Copies of this chain bind each other. A is one copy, B any other.
Amino acid sequence: MQITILGGGGFLGQKLARRLATDAALDGRPITGLTLFDLQAPARPNAPFPVRALGGDVADPAQVAAAIPPGTDVVVHLAAVVSAQAEADFDLGMRVNLQGTLAVLAACRALPKAPRVVFTSSVASFGGGQDARLEDDARQLPGNSYGAQKAIGELLLQDASRKGFLDAVSLRLPTVIIRPGRPNKAASSFVSAILREPLLGLETPLPVPEEFAVWICSPRRAVEWFLHAMAMNTASLGLDRGISPPGRSATVGKMLSALETVAGPAARRLVKPAPDPAIEAIVGSWPGSFTAERARKLLGFSEQESLEEIVQAFIEDDLTATKAERSL
Nearest CB of chain B from residue A54's CB, rounded to whole Å: 26
Are A127 and B239 in contact, with the CB atoms below 8 A?
Answer: yes
Interface residues on A, range: 20 to 34
CB of A62 within 8 Å of the partner chain? no
A-B contact pairs, 5 of them (CB 8 A): A90-B163, A127-B239, A143-B162, A151-B155, A152-B156
Query: Could you tell me if B138 and A139 are in contact, using CB atoms closer than 8 angstroms?
Result: yes
Please, which residue of chain B has its CB at the minimum distance from the CB of A93? B159
A309 beta carbon closer than 8 Å to chain B: no
Cβ-closest chain B residue relative to A146: B159
A3 CB, min distance to chain B CBs, angstroms: 26
Does A141 touch B at the CB level, under 8 Å?
Answer: yes
Residues of chain B within 8 A (CB-CB) of A303 are: none
Among residues 171 to 206 in chain A, which have CB atoms less than 8 Å away from a CB atom of chain B? none
- Complex contact A155–B163 (CB within 8 A): no
Residues of B near A138 (CB, < 8 A) are 139
Question: A155 contacts which chain B residues (CB < 8 A)?
Answer: 140, 142, 148, 151-152, 155
Q: Collect the chain B residues with CB atoms within 8 Å of residue A141's CB.
A: 158, 239-240
Tell whether, in the assembled complex, residue A139 and residue B142 are in contact, meaning their CB atoms are under 8 Å apart.
no
Q: How far is the CB of A300 from chain B (nearest CB, A)?
A: 22
A289 close to chain B: CB less than 8 A:
no
Total identical chains: 2
The 4 closest A-B pairs by CB, nearest first: A148-B159, A139-B139, A152-B152, A148-B155
A152 and B138 alpha carbons, distance in the complex (Å): 16
Residues of B within 8 A of A142 (CB): 155, 158-159
The interface residues of chain B lying within 8 Å CB-to-CB of A139 are: 137-140
A145 is an interface residue with CB less than 8 A from chain B: yes
Q: Which residues from chain B contact A148 at a C-beta distance below 8 Å?
A: 155-156, 158-159
A35 to chain B, nearest CB (A): 26
Q: What would 9 more interface pairs be, CB under 8 Å, given A139-B139, A142-B155, A142-B159?
A: A90-B163, A127-B239, A137-B139, A138-B139, A139-B140, A140-B155, A141-B239, A148-B159, A152-B152
Interface bits A208-246 vs B (CB < 8 Å: 1, else 0): 000000000000000000000000000000011000000
Cα A142 to Cα B148 in complex, Å, equals: 17
**Nearest CB of chain B from residue A120's CB, rounded to whole Å:** 17
Q: Contacts of A145 on B, CB cut-off 8 Å?
A: 159, 163
Closest-CB distance, A129 to chain B (whole angstroms)? 11
